[in-house]
Amino acid sequence: MQVTKLRGTANGLVPAGTFFAQLAAKLEEANFENALREAELEEEDRALEATYRKRSAARTHSVSEQYAMI
């Protein structure tokens, strides 16, 4: 989130309602972007976990077959 200077009235003051409305909108946007990024990272994590399990299962399976042959 980027901080920007609000333009106020002639006396230089910004109404509190306007300030908090803009702050809320920026926070909502930042939270939405963060949620999208977290979803992307979770999907990537699930894919990596699935790949790891698949490869680990392949190694475990081959080892257990070797013990069965002995």
pTM: 0.55
Q: What's the average model confidence in pLDDT over 11-39?
A: 89
CB atoms near residue 19 (< 10 Å): 13
Report the distance separating Cα 48 and Cα 68, nearest Å.
Answer: 30
Show me where the domains of the chain are located.
16-70
Is 11 a residue whose pLDDT tops 90? Answer: no
Highest mean pLDDT among 15-19, 47-51, 57-61: 47-51
Determine which of 5-9, 16-20, 28-32 has the lowest per-residue pLDDT on average. 5-9
| Distance between CA atoms of residues 37 and 33, nearest Å | 6
The residue-averaged pLDDT of 8-30 equals 82
